[in-house]
Structure 1
Amino acid sequence: MDNNSYKIPSNKKPFSPVMKKLIFLVVFAIILIIPLLFVGKLVERRGRLFKETVTEIGNEWGKSQKIIAPVISLSYTDSSLSKDDSIRNEKNVVVQPVQRRLAILPEELNATIEMKDELRHRGIYNATVYTANIKLTGYFSPKDFPDKNDMVAYLSIGLSDTKALVKVNKFKLGNVEKDLEAMSGTMANPLFTSGISGQIGPEYDGMMKEDKIPFEIDIDIRGSRKISILPLGKKNNFDIKSNWKSPSFSGVLPTERNIDDNGFTAKWEISNLIRDYPQVLDINQDVYDDFKDSYSEADLEVYRDSEEYEYYNSDDSKIVKVLLYNSVTDYTQIYRACNYGFLFILMSLVIVYIFEIVSKKVAHYVQYIVVGFSLVMFYLLLLSLSEHLGFEMSYLVASLAIVIPNSLYVASMTDNKKFGIGMFIFLSGIYAILFSILRMEQYALLTGTLLILVVLYVVMYLTKKADIFFKLEEENNQ
């Protein structure tokens, strides 16, 4: 009896090396999502720290400024009887005098605002702030004033951050040559609380006999991020100009605007018909959202979560608002780049694999791991450099630091300079396209989709002869 053991031949084919390599590439690309996520979280943390730093600088220099000016706030004793009071008085009911407080709005309001942005530094972070000169002219109508002799009146200016008031250059009312003496507080509380005012003394009594009560106000203020002004007049004409090159307008949009390399100019012509409050307000009873300050917790929240959230989601639709901000920051661009990371890394690994097949040089798995992690390092290097060199220069340096070594590595791996040049052209192309996508906002999705199609067509061209894969597999099996 033959004790020799015989192996039963198996019908199973050996697992294809080509299939093994393809499965490895897909799994490895998926694993690389983990370090990409870590880089994305790091970008978010650094971006949040940047916004908090910008908020602190803005709070120290001057917050977002909201201008409510000018208003004549007055108080007097009203001893007249209403219809109901008259009926009650017939029944010998004593009617007590009432202290009335009114706010008179201007008949015409003209505002000229000239802004100049400045850069402030803290550590590695920069924040853009501004100084503004505000000139307000126009007139009040004496017909809006009550016929009372015991009135105490003030000319009031609402300013959301009075800490940033630099100087009061002119504060005139009527035809009196002497300026009003500015004092803190608006005297229109609770209609609006923060600002300055000037008491209107007996020397201004004669202005009630005139057809118009003119005013002229000139102040210098500091601020950050945005500026807004309330159209208080029956007729409003606003002119705002600045050297800021990327403004955003909201609320009441300008009738004319021009944006160029020197900055922007914008003009508004606004009627009182857009507002929902009358020409004479009862300070004690009337409450309107347009007069409320909205820059405390909301401003901090916008910097933490979304730079435009409070700006675009506020209810100040009847206010002229100009936002001075960078719509796309370095951190938002890097975060968007990380979102394309998996796609670009997978495409790069596939191209390396195609070069391996065409060159008939078997690459080790370790070589793919080295290439994959170097591609992930691009995003971390871009983040690190952008905090010191600026985004454009950082992107150039980071891309060259990845493109050149990987091209040389592929050339050495395949023993063919042509494949190294091909890798250089491919990586340079996708990083150039990625840079274009990051600079685009409206066409980013379209450009990204076209990029995928182009790469797909290139892969289809390079793999049109499928017998290359089988030949390589036969050679490996032999």
Structure 2
Amino acid sequence: MEPYNPRPASFFDRYAYAIKAMVILFLMMILLIPTVMISNIIGERQNYHQEAISEVTSRWSGEQNVTGPVLAIPYVTPGTTGDTFAYLLPEQLSINGELMPQTLKRGIFPVAVYDSKLKLTGRFSTEPLSKLNIPASAFRWDRAVMLIGITDLRGIGNQVQLTWNGQQSLFNPGVMNNDLFESGIQTPVSLQPRDTGIATGNFVLDIGLKGSGRIKFSPVGKTTSISIRSSWPDPSFDEAFPPQTRSVSEKGFSATWQVQHLNRNYPQSWSGSKFNIRSADVGIRLFMPGGTYQQSSRAIKYAILIIGLTFFIFYFMELSQRRAIHPLQYMLVGLALCIFYTLLISISEQLNFALAYVISSGLTIGLITMYVAGAYKSGRIAAAIGGSLVLLYGFIYVIISAEDQALLMGSLGLFIILAVIMYFSRTIKWNKLSDKASIAE
């Protein structure tokens, strides 16, 4: 009887786990395709949201930018037939206002809009005109006009009335040219220099203005003070100047600005279209909390990390427990991880992002945990897989939430994960994986 000679291990037997690792890596690359498709879905939903905003604002009113008041004084230039305008800014400007916000919806998409009550007071002096080298006799004082730039005239909710040195006049729509702004309102003012050659005027006016999303003010006064209050709990101050003081709570906010003429890049008077007086605007955006699509977009960037680490957990289980996992099972788990993102997007459109993340990750982790428990008849393995996924999804959420510290926290987290992997993998006898008795405990 011939002695039994066991068949030498083939190449595939000897390197079965290495081949399996390459198959898993290939599956990870395949699963990046649906994540790209989901990323495109996020972009489409963002576009739908922008379309909803455009539709609501087309009926309500768009973002508003209040610029002025500015005095436009025509003067005659020798050798020309038409008038040229000199523009004069106020010595003092005070803007006090209140925003009454509300949220409108187009389908499932919310849009922040507001009504506002604004009171503008201040004082003009013609003294800065003396620096323009224009003879006083060239000015046509009787045709002076007060201008106020307003981005969307549909938002004006009252007949704006000017009180100028105790005399009242009504504003009319339109501006005489585009030197300062493209749309606005105007009214004539009585401006006659005294014996000193200087004319002054005090003004008061009230504007009821509707808008959406954002409101901005141009600090055209030599000294400008702005005070705005509202019941909106999530303002964003993202223009040229931050507020000097601010108070934000769940009941609303109040903010004040103090801007001097030295803080801006245009003088108190000039002629023609030399300067952009909206370059130093201050303003408020009615921030919609949650940042649903932005945070979802950030979350999907970590898809490769979630899929890769989850697959590693399963692969490590194969090595340590000698329980073979079919590539199709890897694919099913990977698809469950991809569906997490569609759940996250759809639920976050109805709820806030944090709650949507908890629900989506809970459903995904629960599905994978039950699948492992049913497939391998082991509550211990299923609990280990579920616990690992809870930690992983929690780690990803911390990175998403910490915008400023995301890189630092992500780097430290990955370093810790790598350290854990290296620690547990050190007990595996890689050179004996083909031997059934090789795994070290």
TM range (shorter): 0.7 to 0.9
Following superposition, the deviation at residue 276 of structure 1 comes to 3.9
Specify every segment of 5 or more residues in structure 2 that has no aligned partner in the other structure, as ranges. 1-6, 130-135
Shift of 1:207: 9.3
Q: C-alpha offsets along residues 68-113 of structure 1, whole Å, 9 cap, x if unaligned?
A: 12122233657xx7xxxxxxxxxxxxx7776453333211111113
Q: Is the 1:65–1:227 Cα contact (8 Å) retained in structure 2?
A: yes
The separation in 2 between residues aligned to 1:40 and 1:104, in whole angstroms, is 52
Tell me which moved more, 166-175 or 214-223.
166-175
- Residue 442 of structure 1 pairs with residue 404 of structure 2: yes
Q: Deviations 1:296-339 (Å, cap 9, x if unpaired)? A: xxxxxxxxxxxxxxxxxxxx2x2223333348621111111111
Is the 2:225–2:257 contact (alpha carbons within 8 Å) kept by the matching residues of 1? yes
Query: Relative to structure 1, is the Cα distance of residues 216 and 61 closer, same or farther in structure 2, using a 3 angstrom cutoff?
Result: same
Correspondence 1:228-239 to 2 at 5 A: 228-239=216-227
Task: Give the C-alpha shift of residue 437 in structure 1.
Answer: 1.6
Name stretches of at least 5 consecutive residues in structure 1 with no aligned partner. Answer: 1-8, 82-94, 292-315
CA distance in 2, matches of 1:208, 1:115: 44
Q: Does 1:420 align with 2:411?
A: no
1:32 and 2:44 are equivalent in the alignment = no
2-side partners of 1:462 and 1:406: how far apart?
Answer: 23
Q: Distance in 2 between matches of 1:10 and 1:381?
A: 50
Report the 3-state secondary structure (helix = DSSP H, G, I; strand = E; otherwise coil) of the residue aligned with 1:167.
Answer: coil
TM-score norm. by structure 1 comes to: 0.79
Measured in 1, the distance between the counterparts of 2:316 and 2:176 equals 77
Change in 2 beyond 3 A, CA 1:73/1:150: closer
Partner of 1:253: 242
Deviations 1:22-60 (A, max 9, x none): 222111112111111111112122222222322332333
Change (3 A) 1:195 1:423: same
Q: Alignment RMSD, CA only?
A: 3.0
Corresponding residue of 2:354: 392
**1:350 and 2:339 matched:** no
Task: Look up the SS of the partner of 2:407 in the other structure.
Answer: helix
| 8 Å CA contact retained: 2:141, 2:192 | no
- Decide whether aligned partners of structure 1 residues 60 and 287 sit closer, same or farther in structure 2, where only a CA change above 3 A counts: farther
Q: Distance in 1 between matches of 2:160 and 2:421?
A: 70
Match for residue 262 of structure 1? 251
2:89 corresponds to which residue? Answer: 105
Aligned counterparts of 1:471 and 1:96: Cα–Cα separation in 2 = 96
Distance in 2 (alpha carbons) for counterparts of 1:343 and 1:99: 68
Normalising by structure 2, report the TM-score.
0.85
CA distance in 2, matches of 1:208, 1:401: 82
- Report if aligned partners of 1:71, 1:155 keep a CA contact under 8 Å in 2: yes
Aligned residue in 2 for 1:462: 424
SS for the counterpart of 2:144 is strand
Task: Give the % identical residues.
Answer: 26
Q: For the residues of structure 2 that align with 1:279 and 1:382, how far apart are their CA atoms?
A: 53
> How many angstroms apart in 1 are the aligned matches of 2:212 and 2:302?
33
- 1:76-475 correspondence runs (5 A): 99-141=83-125, 143=127, 146=136, 151-168=142-159, 170-176=161-167, 179-187=168-176, 189-200=178-189, 212-242=200-230, 243-282=232-271, 285-290=272-277, 316=279, 318-326=280-288, 329-467=291-429, 470=432, 473-474=435-436
Q: How far 1:122 sits from its partner (Å)? A: 0.6
Instruction: Measure, in 2, the Cα distance between the counterparts of 1:73 and 1:359.
Output: 85
- Please give the alpha-carbon distance, in whole angstroms, between the structure 2 residues aligned to 1:11 and 1:472: 8
Question: For 1:430, what is the secondary structure of its paired residue?
Answer: helix
Deviation at 1:144, TM superposition (A): 5.8
Length, aligned pairs only: 422
2: CA distance between counterparts of 1:428 and 1:345? 14
Shift of 1:135: 1.1
Letter in 1 for 2:274: V
The offset of 1:342, in angstroms, is 0.8
